[in-house]
Amino acid sequence: MTQERLAMRKIKEILRLKWEAGLSNRAIARACKISNSTVSETVQRARAAGLSWPLPEELGEDEVYQRLFPKSAPAAVAVGRQLPEWTEVRQEMSKRGVTLRLLWQEYREKYPAGYGYTQYCEHYRSWCQQVEPSMRRVRTGGEELEVDYAGMTVPVVDPESGETWEAQIFVATLGASGYTYAEAQHSQELEQWIGGHVRAFTFLGGVPKILRPDNLKSGVKKANYYEPELNPSYQEMAIYYKVAVLPARPYKPKDKPKVENAVQNVERWVLAPLRKCTFFSLADLNRAMQPLLKALNARIMQHLGQSRQELFLELDQPALQPLPIEPYEFAEWKTVRVNIDYHVVFDKHYYSVPYTLHRPPVEVRATERMVEIFYLGKQVAIHPRSRKPGGFTTCPAHMPSRHRFVAEVTSEYLLRQGQAISPITAQLIQAILVSRPYPEQAYRTCLGVLSLSKKYPLSIVEQACQRALLGQLLSYGLLKAELEALASTHHPNQDPLPAHDNIRGRNYYQ
């Protein structure tokens, strides 16, 4: 993937978080691991270009990029003279509802020639690191949900085979209240991981603004402090629920202390009491966990004098974003190349794309019912999903005129090549071409037949083609198996072919 493609993904994420999720520039900068000034400049450029969210479907990524960056922008001039009293700023920040932007606005009213918002924030963070390097983070209600898997697993016995497998425990907790959700899953694979998020949102009755996962491969394809690369399906789920994803730094448990503590509580108060029970299904295990999880959230915390349930109702629940009408439907993403026959392969089935997309990589998005194909962020094809291995789903509009997708490979070309080998080979190629709904779908099979004819003696090729025609064995694999069987019993001095009007033998061509 090129650097420009990476930049466009970052730009689209900035605009989505700004105009759809409603996050501040600072929150967006944290989510995307970039500076506040970059966020501000990107939003300003989008507004100047007349763009809004969602971006117009008719615009490709290249067109959006050209609108945003028609030429280099002049560097901004930094201003600022007087610094505020940071001790007073810190005291004000601890008050409910007070933000750094509000304090900066009051500062600029007092000092009109003072620092801009970005530099103001940078100076404040530098001061905080000097006076309190491990400053406790201020949690806002409904802002952040931390997610992780517990280290402890629970054995489940298969009632049919008697084998035991280990159930994984998914845990999610809200940052302000510590209100916790937990469930048992078959594995930590992508579909289970995303399903756990969807069910956690349903349990909470709303959606937070920020997700903070660990760097599990199901969620984060490539861990990086500055530009972590999310799994496309996980990113799509975040877009669907209008939530930002801020992965924790690798090997930094302090980045997600709430869920680390929640995992410990789930292991002590939910899983440990079930250690002597035997479970024969995941559903049984989850039913047994529910009352224990409810008791955990209702337990009074000694240092606060309130339960997680009470704090949730007071702090988090009123601030959560509403759930969408329908829950997210899991979709799998895969990058593939367009084959010579303008089809792509997904789950062993072939789907057509416009024939002009010859050889470039495209992205396939597959749900339970549909398969969508995207090129440079724009949808170029959509098909009903098929579970037939080796089958073809072809849209006639994707086919070129006269069914020609490359000048060198046509039905006539394949027939000429088969005739050059022998008439019976040409007959087999003709039969393969007419056996498919469209001749293009048979081209690769015909090329395979021509390739096999170069690896075996002519007599064996002719006999195998004859048998394939008689038995309607019109596939590459069946012809290859027939050739291998004949080659294993072939004697050079013996003519293996039976007498037939359509078979002339090798002497005919001398």
pLDDT digits (tens, 9 = 90+) for 452-506: 888 888 888 888 888 888 888 888 888 888 888 888 876 655 555 555 666 665 5
Question: What gap in Å lies between CA 183 and CA 168, rounded to an integer?
Answer: 8
Query: Could you tell me if 389 and 294 lie in one domain?
Result: no
Among 33, 68, 103, identify where a domain stops: 68
Does the structure show a pLDDT above 70 at 419? yes
Does the structure show a pLDDT above 50 at 429? yes
Amino acid 363 reads E
Q: Give the number of other Cβ atoms within 10 Å of residue 216's Cβ.
A: 17
Task: Tell me the residue ranges of DSSP E strands in 259-375.
Answer: 300-301, 306-307, 332-337, 343-346, 349-352, 361-366, 370-375
- Which tokens go with 81? 């003279």
Name residue 490's beta-bridge partners.
none
pLDDT band at 170 (very low <50, low <70, confident <90, very high): very high
Give the pLDDT score at 510.
57
Question: What gap in Å lies between CA 449 and CA 428, rounded to an integer?
Answer: 9
Q: Tell me the DSSP string of 248-275.
A: PPTT-GGGSHHHHHHHHHHIIIIIGGGT
Burial readout 344-371 (b: 16 or more C-beta within 10 A, e: otherwise): bebeebbbbbbbebeeeebbbbbeeeeb
Does the structure show a pLDDT above 50 at 259? yes
Question: What gap in Å lies between CA 440 and CA 445, rounded to an integer?
Answer: 10
Does the structure show a pLDDT above 60 at 168? yes
Q: Identify the burial level of 430 via C-beta atoms within 10 angstroms of its C-beta, where 0-12 means exposed, 13-18 middle and 19 or more buried.
A: middle
Return the sign of the alpha-carbon dihedral for residues 423, 427, 428, 429: positive
pLDDT band at 295 (very low <50, low <70, confident <90, very high): very high
Does the structure show a pLDDT above 90 at 155? yes
The alpha carbon of residue 493 and the mean position of all alpha carbons in its chain are separated, in whole angstroms, by 60
143: Cβ contacts below 8 Å, ≥ 6 apart: 175, 176, 208, 209, 210, 319
Give the pLDDT score at 491.
60
Query: Could you tell me if 393 and 337 lie in one domain?
Result: yes
Question: What gap in Å lies between CA 314 and CA 242, rounded to an integer?
Answer: 23
- Which tokens go with 71? 């030429």
Does the structure show a pLDDT above 70 at 76? no
Q: Give the number of other Cβ atoms within 10 Å of residue 473's Cβ.
A: 17
Among 319, 343, 374, identify where a domain stops: 319
Answer yes or no: is 311 within a domain: yes
Answer yes or no: is 435 within a domain: yes
Query: Could you tell me if 149 and 266 lie in one domain?
Result: yes
Query: Could you tell me if 201 and 284 lie in one domain?
Result: yes
Q: Give the number of other Cβ atoms within 10 Å of residue 406's Cβ.
A: 15
Total of domains in the chain: 5
Residue 425 sits in which domain range? 411-509
Query: Could you tell me if 380 and 492 lie in one domain?
Result: no
The alpha carbon of residue 506 and the mean position of all alpha carbons in its chain are separated, in whole angstroms, by 57
Answer yes or no: is 78 within a domain: no
Query: Could you tell me if 394 and 441 lie in one domain?
Result: no
Answer yes or no: is 79 within a domain: no
